[in-house]
Amino acid sequence: MSERGQPPDPAADAGSVEQQAGRWFARLRGDQCSAEDRARHQAWLQADPAHRRAYAEMEALWKMAGGFADQAEIQPLRQQALADTATPPAALEPASFTRRWLLPGAAAAVLLLLVLAFDFGRQTSPPALVAGGVHQTLTGEQKTLALIDGSTLVLDTQTRLRVDFSGAQRRIELQRGQARFDVAHQQARPFVVRAGSGDITALGTAFIVRKVDGDDSGEVRVTLLQGRLAVAPSGREPALAEAGQQLAYSAGGFSRTTAVTLEQATAWQQGRLIFEDHSLAEVLDDLNRYSHSKILLGDDSLGEIRITGVFKTGDSARIVETLRAYFSLRVSGDKQGNLVLLPAG
């Protein structure tokens, strides 16, 4: 390491633009920051537009994290990050900009903690070993259950199910919501999920079941991620699902089969929802499950707008702002704190 005021050679300590921005960001917030450091930082910003973009995004990320930066469990990492960046980066040559938050040492750990705390603010619970009983999640919450047979369940927001391992079968009743099932293989003991008016039977496989309507006669969607699966609405012959298929059924039998990608099917586990040519009404029905503040349509005609995109769950204000700007809509509020979309005219 160089002496104070003599930073490492740029060629030896360049790193990516994001790494440079991370070192500057930590350095300027340290107790050892000097006027010379600030002047050299300004020179670095002016050297290339990519530097300014990277540093602006770093500041935006920190601002989004808000009060998490001062939490007791983060303070030691924050102080270590500042200590590890005591020598500032030089005014470096221009470099290409890519969106990779690769920061040095503990600085990366600090910002990673902040991003996780902010971006996945919905409640999560550690896995609990389960042999039976009723389990549920609140709005915005997800929960993982470790079953005594080695299977794992992930409950999405507003989900309720019952586990019953008392008989010759391993039985789950999905009463509402959505859950992922990673099933341990037991040839002699089938794993059966009852959802709505049908049964889903697996041996060793991974799949997702969503009960769209509260009524048992309503639609159920079954998405097979891997393995083998038999889906049987009441009084109907079972259908065998293939990986990447989503089967929908109701009291009237099967309604459709759709091809889905693994990323699209499991995005909700990372706090995202992916839509491809869905109606706005469908998109809002799905997004509203994750937030107490709902997004409503003030005009039914808006429900037919087609949407393709990726949305972060639980952030109604940002979703509405995106829709307002893209489709030139107006936004108002109601007495319950919901956001209402209206035609621009």
Mean per-residue pLDDT for 217-241?
Answer: 92
Q: What is the pLDDT of residue 240?
A: 93
State residue 131's pLDDT score: 82
The rounded percent of the chain whose pLDDT value lies above 90 is: 45
**Which tokens is 313 given?**
């769950």
Q: Residues 42-55: pLDDT tens digits?
A: 888 888 888 887 78
Can you give the pLDDT at residue 190?
A: 92
Q: Both tokens of residue 41?
A: 């930082």
What is the band of 188 on the pLDDT scale with cuts at 50, 70, 90? confident
What average pLDDT score do residues 1-14 get?
38
Instruction: State residue 287's pLDDT score.
Output: 95
Helices (H), the chain: 17-28, 35-47, 49-65, 75-84, 105-119, 262-266, 280-287, 316-327
Q: What pLDDT is stored for residue 93 in this prediction?
A: 33
Distance spanning both ends of the chain, measured CA to CA? 63
CATH architecture label of 271-342: 3-Layer(bab) Sandwich (3.55)
The whole-model pTM stands at: 0.64
Q: Class assignment of domain 124-262?
A: mainly beta
Out of 74-83, 166-175, 326-335, least confident range: 74-83
Measure the CA–CA gap between 213 and 82, rounded to whole angstroms: 51
Centre a 10 Å sphere on the Cβ of residue 326 and count the other Cβ atoms it contains.
11
pLDDT score at 181: 97
Q: What is the mean pLDDT of residues 173-183?
A: 97
pLDDT of residue 15: 60
210 C-beta neighbours (distance < 10 Å), count: 23
Q: Do domains 124-262 and 271-342 have the same CATH topology?
A: no
| Every domain of the chain and the residues it spans | 17-119, 124-262, 271-342
In the predicted model, is pLDDT for residue 66 greater than 90? no
Span 296-336, pLDDT tens digits = 999 999 999 999 888 999 888 889 988 988 888 999 999 88
What is the rounded distance in angstroms from the CA atom of residue 92 to the CA atom of residue 13?
9
pLDDT higher than threshold 70 for residue 205:
yes
pLDDT tens-digit map of 96-143: 223 333 334 434 444 443 333 334 444 455 566 788 999 999 999 999
The pLDDT of residue 318 is 87
> Phi/psi of residue 315, each to 5°?
-120, 70
Are the C-beta atoms of residues 20 and 48 closer than 8 Å to each other? Answer: no
